[in-house]
Amino acid sequence: MRASAFAYPWDVDGDPAAPDRIAALGVRQVTLASAYHSTRALTPRHPRHRIVTAEHAAVLYPPGDRWTGRAPRPYPAGDWAPGDAYGRAADALAAAGLEAHTWVVLAHNSRLGAEHPDTSVVNAYGDRYPWAPCIARPATRAYLTDLAAEAAVRPGARGTELESLGWYGLAHPHGHDKTAGVVLGDAGQYLMSLCFCPDCRAGYAGLGLDPDGLAGAVRAALEPVWRQAVPSGGGWAGVEKLLGERSAALTRAWRDDTARTLQETAVAAVRAAAPEGFRVLLHADPVSYHCGANAGVDPAHILSVADGVVVPCTDGAGPLTPFAERARPDSVLAANFTIVSGMGGRPAALARDARRARDLGATELRLYHAGLASDEDLAAVRAALAEL
């Protein structure tokens, strides 16, 4: 099984040993970030630093002329990835015989929401989620589509993996998060992720829902949830129980169509900018109403649009099955495993887990994350890939 390791440019740029160290894992490919959200990242082997603080979402190369005079527009990185950090890292990896594919984070950008509040998801209480651009807003869709094309098709890249190309919602890892006081199941998360910006309100109205009435229904459904008097899990049946079947179905229809059309447009823009043979994959969840970095998709639809998907499998490879059932002979189904023990990964079990994923239809592996993992974790990965 072809394997690719994730990396940030700052893992490689300025560390002459990094490319050979990654190649020694047994991978042929590196999925290298070219546009990424804010983060604080460990660099346990870099000769110049141990902690990199990416203060805001940024492109890790100089943004092009297409953005002149436009708003919103991508932000260049600061001193954590100056200039064309992506290009320097990609060149170093190529010199070690590794194929670079871009890693592009799209609808996840806290600085965008802070500086352009009208781009953000607005919940039923009127609270804005600055980390979550609303993908129904025309200007936001245009921004994400152009960013996908530019950040994906970097010089020398052979493919791309598009992360968060869909709805982002309430769930959001944050360094000072204080939102776990009331446990929300997947149904509660869905209701708290419904957007009520002007474009979404118009979308609901176009399907026959009164936006004010819907917002009120969401708040009423959640009121006993805040008291923990009713459960808020149960999958889609739980959403229907809280909101009612008709309202639930119409909100999902609006959101599914909004995500599908953005995915189609963004992938088409990447293909138009890319050379022949360029592979386009999406980080994806097979449940279309799910939000987050792994965008909720309809498996049959997305595999008719993109070349394949990257599916989180650290907690089990079951999410591969819906994609495998809809895959074409040439579809890429990449099973994504966390290999950092401190982040819940099981690198010592990678060979076993990869075989299970292969049995469920996986054609490739993704390893998260070569720059963050300890030496012990990387040694376990080398042994697993040699065994496979």
Separation of alpha carbons 138 and 144, rounded Å: 10
**In this predicted structure, what is the pLDDT of residue 174?**
63
Instruction: Return the pLDDT at 248.
Output: 98
Provide the residue ranges of all domains of the chain, joining segments of one domain with +.
2-178+259-387
CA geometry: angle 31, 308, 129, nearest 5 deg: 70
pLDDT, one tens digit per residue, over 312-340 is: 999 999 999 999 999 999 999 999 999 99
Q: Average pLDDT, stretch 179-198?
A: 91
- Whether the pLDDT of residue 180 is over 70: the answer is no
For residue 159, give the amino acid letter: G
d(CA 289, CA 281): 19
Give percent above pLDDT 90 in the chain. Answer: 96
Does the domain at 2-178+259-387 match CATH 1.10.3660.10? Answer given as no
Distance CA 377, CA 375 (A): 5
Please tell me the predicted confidence (pLDDT) of residue 176: 61
Only one residue has tokens 């118009």, namely 202
Model confidence, pTM: 0.97
Average pLDDT, the chain: 96
Judge whether 296 and 316 are in contact, CB under 8 Å: no
Count of beta carbons in the 10 Å neighbourhood of residue 296: 22
- Amino acid present at 377: D
pLDDT above 90: residue 178:
no
| Phi-psi group of 228: left, alpha or beta (phi > 0 → left; psi -120 to 50 → alpha; rest → beta) | left
Interatomic CA distance for residues 171 and 293, integer angstroms = 10
**163: pLDDT strictly greater than 90:** yes
Quote the pLDDT of residue 183. Answer: 83
Residues 237-296: pLDDT tens digits? 999 999 999 999 999 999 999 999 999 999 999 999 999 999 999 999 999 999 999 999
CB atoms within 10 A of CB 268: 15
Q: Identify the pLDDT of residue 114.
A: 96
Per-residue pLDDT at 182: 82
pLDDT at 361: 98
Q: What is the mean pLDDT of residues 198-208?
A: 98
Q: Is it the case that residue 175 has pLDDT exceeding 70?
A: no
**Res 218: pLDDT:** 98
Q: What is the pLDDT of residue 179?
A: 61
pLDDT, position 172: 79
Q: Residue 181: what pLDDT?
A: 72
Which amino acid makes up residue 198? P
